[in-house]
Structure 1
Amino acid sequence: MEKLAIIDMGSNSIRFVVMQIADNQSYSLLYQEKEAIRLGHGLSQTGVISEEGMQRALTCLHVYKHIMEVMDIHECRAVATAAVRNASNGEAFLKRINAETGITMNVITGEREAYLGYLGVINTIALKDFLIFDLGGASVEMTLVRDGEAVHSLSVPIGAVTLTEKFGTQGNPDSEAIASLMKFVRKKMAAVPWIEDIQLPIVGIGGTARNFAKMDQRATNYELSKLHNYIMPLEHFENLYHEITTRTSANRKKIAGLSSERSDLIVAGAAVIKTIFDMTGSPE
């Protein structure tokens, strides 16, 4: 039996899981936790990760290191994504993490991030032709899959945290702000011409996608709590999009299933998903 720790430090949250791998290579989850650290907060304005963001991340990493010691785990795969990738002080931050916690963390490219997302989907969802989007705090990775093979892949530098900061959609954005946001997202997504009118199912990865599934489950009184492989029709998304973009901040927080820690980011996240639906003509 082997135990493996995995850390994924993104622009919005940090995730820690411990897997147990049996001699026959089957695996099971032993432990997991996630914290919203907002590492990408302010990055679009300053180009650097803030000291507050680094401290929030380091607090979590110290806890994870302690858990690894208690559970006698000697192997850890730790990766950082868009926030560290884009920040001018990203490399220095990784050296600080290693010096203070002993954890060696590597930055993965947008292409590598997209490929890892593809591996997760192709091995756990029974589809052959589809589009994957992995929406994070500072980037969205897109992968077009045909007959089970990834044929196109690209990372676009827009995310729920950076878009929220740029367009101020965390509060009560008016129709003009929403229109500006949508126009900007569409312009950025023009870098992905191979998704136009593909009319294939889209598979969402990340907290925003999961939160939309959770809201739809609550709205339809879905009987199971499992989010993986949950199918949401375009019509349901459109209904939720309307609710999210027309309510005040206070009323938005009352939407059943919407995470309190994501209520300020959900407008920007919704804009990205709506743009993907609009461009692809996808049904679900």
Structure 2
Amino acid sequence: MAQINAQDNAQSIDLANLKQTLTPWDPNAPNQLWAIVDMGSNGIRFSITSLAAPTTRLLKPVYTDRAAISLFDRLVEGPPGVFTFPQETIDLVATTLAHFKQIALDYGVPVEQIMVLATEAMRKANNAGPMLEAIKKAAPGLTVSILEGTVETLCGAVMGSRSGLVNVDGGALFLDLGGGSVQMTWVDTTLPDYEFVAAKAGKSLPFGAARLMKILGDKTPEGEVARVKDLDDLHKGVGGIYENLCNQFPALAAIKKAHEAKDKNAKVNVYMCGGGFRGYGSMLMHNDPTHPYPIASTNAYTAPGELFMDVEKMRKVNEKEKGRIFGMSKRRREQFPAIATVIEAFIKAVPNIGDVTFCGGSNKQGALMMKLPLELRESNPLDVLAVPSEAEKPVLDAVLQLIQQSIPQDVDFSKTPTVLTEGLAPLFVKDIWSRTGYDGDSNTAFALNDAILRDPEAPGLTHLGRSILALTASARWAGNLGPLDANLFDGVTSIVQNKSDDAPFWAGYIGAVAYIIATALPAFPKSAQEVAKAIRISSHLKVAEDKKDKIVIAVGISPNYGKGLDLTDLIDVIEGVAKKRGGKKPNFKVSAEINLLS
């Protein structure tokens, strides 16, 4: 790491001093806004985040900006191994940080709650001191924290990605590709102190997208020789990290051993963050079998291993596609050969890749997560998104119980995602009575779009989760869709069906049950007792050997709530979910009996 000569506006952060330098979050602090400047090798990112309760775990964004200053590209090599920033770069960075500081102050962020994080480029620069001095003069009061490699792995590859997830039970490989380096480690949230275990086990290689572009672009004879060696070092380095991780984590070693024994199901799931990998995710979305892809964000996008490993196709698309590819800037398109080179090295080391999920988190989210107490940062963000009041909770629980009673107990959901299995039930149930002043067609379209667009980048809301929620919430209103929304419906149906053929059916079924409940109880119930008094539901599965299995559902509605209702219409709605509505024809039939209770 470059010497910073005890600058009073700089500190080096390693695992030993992390708790002292990254002070814990104070829930009683009068101001809960935090500003972070992430001096990455590929650009300088600035953000303001609210840690206010009760939505602390969501790391709610308040403001974001980015300066297209690639610190790694601006490093100039003099004598071999000596890298320095030109004075114009030092001046530009100092001015940029002063600008970001003023924005933070304008938003009311206390200066002591502005964090500046620096990574590979600042570690490598031999004149980091003059850079820090310039920042001190231009933006007095700011302290630059230079992250040691393991801390960058902790805040980026581990907790940056982890910030957007519910959990990682069973473990997965986590990778981060920046401009100057690439990190890889193994994360299993069931292990004690998993974040520190992962950070210590992970390794960093000096082959970020910006550095690799320089290596690949050097066409001199010396450059050709150096490129062969560097690419060999990259492949050996990634392979070596993977072998070391297998030696340290029995779960990963077991998957590797099973794969070598020809077990086709022995797959390693992967989570990737960093601008370089997100660029690859954007290219995969552009080539996804669901086309056009209905969700406009790489964050929480999951690609199957087969698509992920088709690097040659992605290279060709990047070369031949003249139009814009969503999520990819001109610079990212230029860097794509370098990104693909890292992906190829990873695939060579780990040939049994399962699902690959791309994460929007970075050092910013990771640093904020590490400020939070353990029980808060490990809490389920989906529970926070719903945020029911104390009065609402027992009512919502009673409604959820009715929905669960509508599903036969002997149906196997181990491989079929629903709002119930994906932790989305609180979000779905809470909105059953929203927008009741609007007609069914309007609400069907609104619910479909809202699930896709709501809470952008919210932790825990994956593309699959949003798609399941969209199908279920729109089915609750039993309305019709216009042509554009019908295309969106087909798109999210495709995402869900790619995971499970039966999942779209169950989304429609659960939504239809909610429609029946809300028809019997048109206003939000005053109590759980009212729910129990108004409606009763039971169900069972009638198995057919040669035909489709049939779900038999019986609904009893109290006369006080059911008088005047068109029970035939309710039967048509619930039985209608067995009809084809985009995607494949359902594998179930539905038989409904709806009567007034005596």
Greater Rg, structure 1 or structure 2? Answer: 2
Structure 2: gaps spanning 5 or more residues: 1-30, 220-224, 247-252, 257-266, 356-598
Secondary structure of the corresponding residue to residue 297 of structure 2: coil
Q: Secondary structure at the match of 2:330?
A: coil
Relative to 1, partners in 2 of residues 1:89 and 1:53: Cα closer, same or farther, differing over 3 Å?
A: same
Tell me how far apart the structure 1 counterparts of residues 322 and 218 of structure 2 sit (CA, whole Å): 14
**Greater relative contact order (CA < 8 Å, ≥ 6 in sequence):** 1
Which is further off, 198-207 or 155-164? 198-207
1:139 Cα deviation after fit: 1.0
1:153 match: 202
Instruction: Give the TM-score taking structure 2 as reference length.
Output: 0.43
CA distance in 2, matches of 1:202, 1:169: 32
Farther off after superposition, 39-48 or 133-142: 39-48
Q: Kindly indicate which of the two structures has a greater share of residues assigned to helix.
A: 2
Instruction: Name the counterpart of 1:188.
Output: 237
Structure 2 match to 1:107 = 146
Could you tell me the TM-score, scaled by structure 1's length? 0.85
Which of these residues, 86, 89, 97, is aligned with residue 135 of structure 2? 97
By how many angstroms is 1:274 displaced? Answer: 2.0
Work out the CA distance in 2 between the residues paired with 1:54 and 1:202.
Answer: 37
Note closer, same or farther for the CA distance 1:186–1:29 as it changes in structure 2 (3 Å cut).
Answer: same
- Are residues 94 and 163 of structure 1, via their aligned partners in 2, closer, same or farther at CA, if it must alter by over 3 Å? same
**Could you tell which deviates more after superposition, 159-168 or 86-95?**
86-95
Asked if the contact 2:239–2:349 (Cα under 8 Å) also holds between the matched residues in 1, the reply is no
**TM-superposed deviation, 1:137:** 0.8
How far did 1:130 drift? 0.6
> In the alignment, does 2:70 pair up with 1:63?
no
Q: Give the partner amino acid of 2:205.
A: V
Q: Which residue of structure 2 aligns with residue 267 of structure 1?
A: 337
Contact preservation (8 Å) 1:41, 1:161 = yes
CA distance in 1, matches of 2:209, 2:48: 27
Structure 1 residues 44-53 or 63-72, which shifts more?
Answer: 44-53
Identify, as 1 or 2, the structure richer in strand: 1
1:182 is displaced (CA, Å) by 4.2
Q: SS in structure 2 opposite 1:262?
A: helix
1:253 CA drift (Å):
5.8
Determine whether 1:30 maps to 2:99.
no
Given residue 104 of structure 1, which amino acid in structure 2 is its aligned partner? Answer: T
Task: Give 1:165 deviation, angstroms.
Answer: 0.8
Of 344, 350, 361 in structure 2, the residue corresponding to residue 280 of structure 1 is: 350
Q: One-letter code of the match for 1:5?
A: A
Q: Give, in angstroms, the shift of residue 49 of structure 1.
A: 2.3
Structure 1: distance between partners of 2:151 and 2:244: 19
Answer whether contact 1:215 1:255 (CA < 8 A) is retained.
Answer: no
Q: Could you tell me how far apart the structure 2 residues matched to 1:200 and 1:228 are?
A: 20
1:200-219 alignment, distance < 5 Å: 200-219=268-287
Verify the 8 A CA contact 2:311 2:343 in the aligned structure 1.
Answer: no
SS of the residue 2:345 aligns to = helix
Listed one character per residue, the Cα deviations across residues 198-229 of structure 1 (whole Å, up to 9, x for unaligned) are 44212111111112222222223221113222
**Which letter maps to 1:270?**
A
- Say yes or no: does 1:116 pair with 2:155: yes
Q: Give the RMSD, CA atoms, in angstroms.
A: 2.9
| C-alpha contact 2:283 2:314 (8 A) present in aligned 1 | no
CA contact (8 A) 2:185 2:245 kept: no
The residue matched to 1:187 in structure 2 has which SS?
Answer: helix
Q: Describe the shift of the 1:141–1:44 C-alpha distance in structure 2 as closer, same or farther (beyond 3 A).
A: farther
Residue type at the aligned position of 1:194:
N
**Cα shift at 1:13:** 0.8
How far did residue 77 of structure 1 move? 1.1
Q: How many percent identity over aligned positions?
A: 25
1:213-252 equivalent positions in 2, closer than 5 A: 213-220=281-288, 221-244=292-315, 248=319, 251=320
User: CA contact under 8 A between 1:44 and 1:162: conserved in structure 2?
Assistant: no
Using the alignment, how far apart are the partners of 1:255 and 1:278 within structure 2? 30
Give runs of aligned pairs for residues 135-146 of structure 1, distance below 5 A: 135-146=177-188
Q: AA paired with 1:274? A: E
Contact map agreement 1:135 1:141 (CA 8 A) in 2: yes
Q: Return closer, same or farther for 1:188/1:169 CA change in 2, 3 Å cut-off.
A: farther
C-alpha displacement of 1:85: 0.6
Q: Which sits farther off after the overlay, 29-38 or 208-217?
A: 208-217
Tell me the CA shift for residue 91 of structure 1: 3.1
- Residue 63 of structure 1 deviates from its aligned partner by 1.8
1:38-53 equivalence runs, <5 A: 38-41=70-73, 43=75, 45-46=77-78, 47-53=83-89
- On the 8 A contact 1:36/1:261 being kept in 2, the answer is no
Query: Which stretch of structure 1 is more off in the superposition, 28-37 or 39-48?
Result: 39-48
Q: Which AA in structure 2 matches 1:28?
A: K
